[in-house]
Amino acid sequence: MKMRKQIRMTAAVLLAAGMLAGCSNGAKETETTSANDSKHTEIRVAAAASLKNAFENELIPMFEEQNPDITVTGIYDSSGKLQTQIEEGLDADVFMSAAQKQMNALNDEGLIDTESITDLLENKIVLIVPSGNAAELKNFADIQEAASIALGDPASVPAGQYAEEALTNLGIWDKIQDKVSFGSNVTEVLNQVAVSSADAGIVYATDAASMADKVEVVAEAPEGSLSKPVIYPVAVVKKSAHPQEAKTFEAFLKSDEAMSVFASYGFSAGS
């Protein structure tokens, strides 16, 4: 009887020990998985619509390949709309606008890491027409001869703000208002001209290059029609939940390989 009792007690002890070991191993596995998950970070980049092709087609995949623990999600729209969204609490880690105006406004409001601001790229604004140039426009000022015109809304679209400035300085802005339809971002303007919904439009040179088979560039904005060059600044958003990863992405955008990609899309280095 004593022998049987000892055997049962020994079995019970071994069973309990096995269960404890199993719990311990399970806890360790969960902890490892949790640790691995914590190493993977998603950052969100709020960027001007004119940057979407370069970011999505090449730059983000290139960055993620070099930094497998970081995923980048792009949010694209007019810089003015993105500015408003950031002011209203958009969960963004990096902001890259198509003009300094929006970046400066956010910085003045204390929403940008001031030391991270970099004037990264320069672009040009150009007059475009549908392929074939049926309106036979020959220079930038000829936009007033077009029957219908697509422009970015100056209230929120930097390309529209540049267009208004250039056309005002050329004495044309007030003359064309009854012909203009305003787009909510520069991509919308480009598409209107590409499908011949508008006879002419003003977009960035890089946008025109992305649809070279559907639109023709008539001319760049004349020298002196803009008071400042078209600069694209980039910076880390101050309330970023992942500031280190955001700075890593910004540093990547400044690299020679990233700048080569930007150049292939028609951008030049910011001044």
- Specify the pLDDT at position 5: 44
The structural domain count of the chain equals 2
Calpha distance 194→197 (Å, rounded): 8
Strand partners, 94: 45, 236
What residues have CB less than 8 Å from 157, skipping those under 6 apart?
78, 79, 80, 182, 183, 184, 185, 186
What residues have CB less than 8 Å from 185, skipping those under 6 apart?
49, 77, 78, 81, 152, 157
Q: Where residue 198 sits, what CATH number does that domain have?
A: 3.40.190.10
Calpha distance 19→3 (Å, rounded): 24
- Specify the pLDDT at position 112: 98
- Specify the pLDDT at position 1: 45
- Specify the pLDDT at position 201: 97
217 within 8 A of 208, measured Cβ to Cβ: yes
214 and 249 belong to one structural domain: no
- Low-confidence stretches of the chain (pLDDT < 50) are 1-37
- The verdict on residue 25 lying in a domain is no
Residue 91 carries which side chain, given as an amino acid letter?
D
Phi then psi for residue 196, to 5 deg, are: 65, 25
134 and 258 belong to one structural domain: no
- The verdict on residue 34 lying in a domain is no
199 and 157 belong to one structural domain: yes
- Specify the pLDDT at position 38: 53
Residue 62 three-state SS: helix
Q: What is the pTM of this model?
A: 0.77
Q: Which domain holds residue 48?
A: 39-122+232-269
Q: Kindly give the interhelix angle for 79-87 and 100-108, rounded to the nearest 10 degrees.
A: 10
- The verdict on residue 28 lying in a domain is no
184 and 249 belong to one structural domain: no
- Specify the pLDDT at position 143: 97
189 and 256 belong to one structural domain: no
Residue 144 carries which side chain, given as an amino acid letter?
Q
237 and 118 belong to one structural domain: yes
